[in-house]
Amino acid sequence: MHYSEGVIVEPKTGLHMIFSEEGKYIDMSMMNSPKMKAFFENIKNEYDYIIIDTPPALIQSEVISLSKYIDGVILVVKQETATIGDIVETKNKVQDVGAEIIGCVLNDIRS
């Protein structure tokens, strides 16, 4: 199956999306496979921006292995949930594998 067969196009925005099966964890053997490498090489040639939404890196550290396929990481931090220690540990893990942190989003903000 070519990856484009699984692409869903949102009609109002034209946003192209590929969804994984809900509740499935990332399989490390899949992340390091030649098929995954080829997948990312193909979509990088076809799209200007590729955004990958992953589970939290501290909960499922396998997501750090995606860094070899990406240009940058945006940390998403939930207010009153993530501790300073969690944020620093995640930042260090991301930087240890050579990924660049290009931004941070603070969500679930309460006044």
Which CATH entry fits the domain spanning 3-107: 3.30.2320.50, 3.40.50.300, 3.40.50.1000, 3.40.50.2000? 3.40.50.300
Domain boundaries along the sequence of the chain = 3-107
**Residues with Cβ < 8 Å from 106, sequence gap 6 or more?**
77, 79
**32-86 pLDDT tens trace:** 788 888 888 888 888 888 888 777 777 666 677 777 788 888 888 988 888 999 8
Helix (H) or strand (E) holding 96: helix 84-96
pLDDT tier at 12 (50, 70, 90 boundaries)?
very high
3 state SS of 59: coil
pTM: 0.70
- Pair 62, 29: CB distance under 8 Å: no
Strand pairing of 16-17 and 73-78? unpaired
